[in-house]
Chains A and B, each alone.
Chain A
Amino acid sequence: MTSVLTIILQRLGLGLVTLFVVSIVIFTAVNLLPGDFAEAILGQGATPEAVASIRRDLGLDQSPIVRYFQWLGNMVTGDLGTSFAQLNFQTNLGGGDLVGVAEQIAPRFANTMFLAGVTAAIAVPFAVGLGILAALFRNSAFDRATNITTLSSISSPEFFLAYILILFLAVLNPVLPSLSNIFQGMSFGERLEKTLLPALTLTLVVTAHMMRMTRAAIINLLASPYIEMARLKGISPMRVIVRHALPNALAPIINVIALNLAYLITGVVVVEVVFVYPGIGQLFVDSVKIRDIPVVQACCLIFAAAYILLNLTADILSILSNPRLRHPK
């Protein structure tokens, strides 16, 4: 067990290093965005004096390296900073009562997690189940149909899938709301109903990957001697797959599931905008539009951390599910 702990700690350390590298990339990329907050917020009023005064107030006139280390330093101490839009009007409020980026993001992030959770609850059993069935009836019409459908849904852009679903489930047969404006104080049932369309869209996007990996991993094992043994014992094909093949195919499946879960958190931007779902993705888009760099950077960092963490989990789970890795010689 100690070796597992060591591995986990090692991986966490590596994750932190990755996050540090990512922070440099994020900072550089965000600073490469053309235009800045001062110009975005002033619009037509962007006279050189007004732009310079806002830049001075927000510290944008300092060198990028100074700004990077300030940001990094604050980030390490858990301070995500304050959005420019808030800072810009700080003097109106006499300097008090500012909402930090962390507080701004928290409710949005919770919403995104809810959407990811609902999607995962639908997509994972659905994809794994489909994968098992496809493996069971491999090369049948069912297998082909599943493959074609899931592959075409993963190949279509998300907004297209979203509009197709809206057309069929909200316009032609109004069963689900096309607007996912969830808010605090909504009952769980209502919230679920409003979240269903974006969740279904995301399900269509992530199913193919998981389903095909499940199918491939299982089929791969079906040629193994122990499966033949099980078949010779006279066990039903379904039981052979679920009881004998699946546990040994778990490692790659878990890996793919974790990757797709990470996608559910980081890849929701477009879907959230289409459905007006108040998650972190929409906040991200709004903030990029006005070049509100502290919010953009914090969102990016959260996306990166989610990706790294879920990959880490995938690695650890695949180690735990594999006795050979669990007890290395």
Chain B
Amino acid sequence: MTRISRRGLLKTGAAAGVLAASGLPVRAQAKRGGRLRAGLSGANTSDSWDSRTHSDLFMIASAQGAVFDSLTEVKADGSLGGELATDWEASADAKTWTFNLRQGVTFHNGKAFGADDVIASLQMHVEEGAKSAAQPIVAAITEMKKMGEHQVQLTLEAGNADFPYLLSDYHILMFPAGQIDEAIQNGIGTGMYKVSSFEPGVRMVATRVDSHYKDGDAGWFDEIEYIAINDNTARMNALMTGQVDAINRIDFKTEALLRANPMIRIQEVTGNQQYTFPMLTNVAPFDDVNVRRALKFAINRQEMVDKILLGHGRVGNDTPIGPANQFFFENMEQTSYDPDKAKFYLKEAGLDSLDIDLSASNAAFEGAVDAAQLYQASAKQAGININVVQEPADGYWSNVWLKKPFCACYWSGRATEDWMFATAYEEGVPWNDTQWGREDSERFQDLLLEGRAELDTDKRREIYHEMQQILKDDGGVVLPMFANYVQAVANKVANPDVVGNLWQMDNGRMAERWWMS
């Protein structure tokens, strides 16, 4: 079942029948009790409960996934639900947002949750000198108004239809106003689990609070223990010997060993994690759209998925919008390996053959150099001679990426279309790694602004589909594959039919969503 993509599952009405017939656990059987022990990577001795500093799984699963809550939450099926906000409403221009807050919620230290906490928790990202990855999201708020104990109004500098989505970011957690320093010290949130012990870079233990507003929907374990295991082999060992019940990020090379163990199942979801080859569209020869098209037909995507990801992924179609996005254009015609078409476009560009450098390093993604060599081999058939330049891993992101005209790159993707485009495809933004702008497509940049302020879902779908089409045909990125999130779980732990694909480990929320079978 884990091989079926979430969206594919939802689309086919028959899926429900399949699941019922296969005897997989359904939500109704979820029951309270037990202790979840998970071995997780991405931990560090300098970890703290300061969500502004969070960047890897261990703290995300501990903080947003268990101890703290956000205003909104991306559910496992990709839809947006309320967490500490019950509902929200936008003005017609998507500029002013009013959030109604949940009543009767208390922090672990007994303080009641209200509008002041929301404002203080947002403010901490834009404080003087604060370093927060969510700074751009919060900086776009020009006014925060407390409308009542349980209502806030946030005004944005420009309309943004995805704003509630952005508030589900794992950096933006709700802290108790006036006690933020204390909460960062001890981990005081409103989540389903209360910290009982936290040793940074080593271990986090939390126990279930007695009553919580999610009771009956989530939070089945009595206690959770997250153990920091950064080493791949040690993590696998811990699961194989039953020391932990679940691990994230399994090594594809040893996956067969895990599969052979009858007590363990592999959980695999395709999200937005993508491996790319961006080219600078303002540098010759990549400024010629026909050269870009030739390069897109000269790559063998399926071979990349098979050999670089060992099958754990799906082919990409040269747009950064992936299966975890709301408006993913799944049925867009797939660009596939076709040396003749590549030759045709090369001729259109007035060329018989093409010699280019491709910079790669495994700092971009695991296997990037191998991928570049595969590309080299397949492109040769089309008369394109790729010279693979192996770059040093250190300093790759400052010296090669955004600087060399054609290189290997990695993106974890974004939860919303606009967020992804605004990060890397809007004219002039610092991470625009294809130098994609108005000169390349006037239409794309117009649609980007139009889609941002559009509240109508059908219209937005049209807009984002058209943008994906433009990128696929003319864009500066060759995006051959989306890499799966692959994790392993012991059979004594059960999970719902649909597992989140926004991030590893059910979006880091296994403490809430899984239970002991």
Q: Give A contacts to B, CB under 8 Å.
A: 34-35, 39, 42-48, 51, 83, 85-86, 88-89, 91-94, 96-97, 104, 107, 166, 170-171, 174, 177-179, 181, 183-185, 273-276, 278, 283, 286-287, 290, 292, 295
Which residues on A sit within 8 Å (CB–CB) of B211?
Answer: none
The reply to whether B46 and A97 contact each other, CB–CB distance below 8 Å, is no
Partner of B231, one of A44, A91, A273: A273
Q: Which of A44, A178, A273, A274 has most B Cβ within 10 Å?
A: A44
Query: Assuming the A-B contacts A166-B241, A174-B241, A181-B203, are A273 and B398 also in contact, with contact meaning beta carbons closer than 8 angstroms in the complex?
Result: no
Q: Complex: how many Å from CA A39 to CA B395?
A: 7
Q: Per-residue 0/1 for B172-209: is the Cβ within 8 Å of any A Cβ (1 yes, 0 no)? A: 00000000010011000000000001010111000000
B227 interface residue, CB < 8 Å from A?
yes
Chain B residues touching A, range: 35 or more
Rounded to whole angstroms, the CA-CA distance of A276 and B238 in the bound complex is: 9
**26 A–B pairs (Cβ distance < 8 Å), ordered by A:** A34-B392, A35-B394, A39-B397, A46-B395, A86-B46, A91-B130, A92-B50, A92-B52, A92-B53, A97-B185, A171-B241, A178-B243, A179-B238, A179-B241, A181-B203, A183-B197, A184-B199, A273-B231, A274-B233, A274-B234, A275-B234, A276-B39, A278-B199, A283-B45, A292-B46, A295-B45
* A35 CB contacts on chain B under 8 angstroms: 393-395
Contact across chains for B234 and A290 when beta carbons are under 8 A apart: no
Q: How far is the CA of A51 from the CA of B402 in the complex (A)?
A: 15
| A-B pairs with beta carbons under 8 A, tally | 122
* Set of chain B residues within 8 Å of A274, measured between Cβ atoms: 231, 233-234
User: Closest residue to A275 on the B side, CB-wise?
Assistant: B234
**B45 and A83 contact, CB distance less than 8 A:** yes
> Quick one: given A92-B130, A183-B203, A286-B230, are A39 and B398 in contact (CB under 8 Å)?
yes
Cα A295 to Cα B430 in complex, Å, equals 33
Which B14-66 residues sit within 8 Å CB-CB of chain A?
39, 44-46, 48, 50, 52-53
B401 within 8 A of partner (CB): yes
Q: Is the CB–CB distance between A85 and B44 below 8 Å?
A: yes
A187 to chain B, nearest CB (A): 15
- Given A89-B50, A94-B181, A183-B199, 10 new contacts (CB under 8 A): A35-B395, A44-B410, A97-B185, A166-B241, A179-B39, A179-B229, A179-B234, A276-B234, A287-B45, A290-B44
Are A286's CB and B227's CB within 8 A? no
A94 cross-chain contacts in B, Cβ below 8 A = 181
Closest 5 CB pairs of A and B: A85-B46, A35-B394, A91-B129, A179-B243, A34-B394
Q: Is the CB of A39 within 8 A of B53?
A: no
With A278-B199, A278-B202 given, is the CB distance from A181 to B45 under 8 Å? Answer: no
> Are A83 and B46 CB-contacts (below 8 A) given A181-B202, A183-B197, A184-B199?
yes
Taking Cβ atoms with an 8 Å cutoff, the residues of B that contact A are: 39, 44-46, 48, 50, 52-53, 124, 127-132, 181, 184-185, 197, 199, 201-203, 227-231, 233-234, 237-238, 240-244, 392-395, 397-398, 401-402, 409-410, 430-431
Instruction: Check if A89 sits within 8 Å of B234, measured CB to CB.
Output: no
Name the CB-closest residue of A to B233.
Answer: A274
A286 touches B231 (CB 8 A): no
A93 partner, pick from B181, B199, B430, beta carbons under 8 A:
B181
Chain A residue at minimum C-beta to C-beta distance from B133: A45
Q: Which of A44, A88, A96 contacts B401 (CB 8 A)?
A: A44
If A39-B395, A44-B410, A89-B53 touch, whether A179 touches B237 (CB-CB below 8 Å) is yes
Q: Which of A42, A88, A171, A273 contacts B234 (CB 8 A)?
A: A273
Given that A39-B395, A44-B401, A97-B185 are contacting pairs, would A183 and B45 also be in contact in the complex, using a CB cutoff of 8 Å?
no
B56 CB → nearest A CB, Å = 10
Question: A166's closest neighbor in chain B, by CB?
Answer: B237
CA distance A278 to B240 in the complex (A): 20
Q: How far apart sit A95 and B129, CA to CA, in the bound complex (Å)?
A: 11
Q: CB-CB < 8 A to B181: which residues of A? A: 93-94, 96-97
Give the Cβ gap from B509 to chain A, nearest Cβ, in Å: 23
Query: A91: which B residues are within 8 A, CB to CB?
Result: 128-131
Name the CB-closest residue of B to A174: B241
A276, B197: Cβ atoms under 8 Å?
no
- Give the distance in Å from the alpha carbon of A35 to the alpha carbon of B237 in the complex: 31
Most buried by B among A43, A88, A89: A89
- A278–B201 alpha-carbon span in the complex (Å): 8
**Central interface residue in B52, B53, B197, B431, by most chain A CB within 10 Å:** B53
Closest-CB distance, A82 to chain B (whole angstroms): 10
Residues in A with CB closer than 8 Å to B241 are 166, 170-171, 174, 177-179
Which of B44, B128, B197, B203 gathers the greatest number of chain A CB atoms within 10 Å? B44
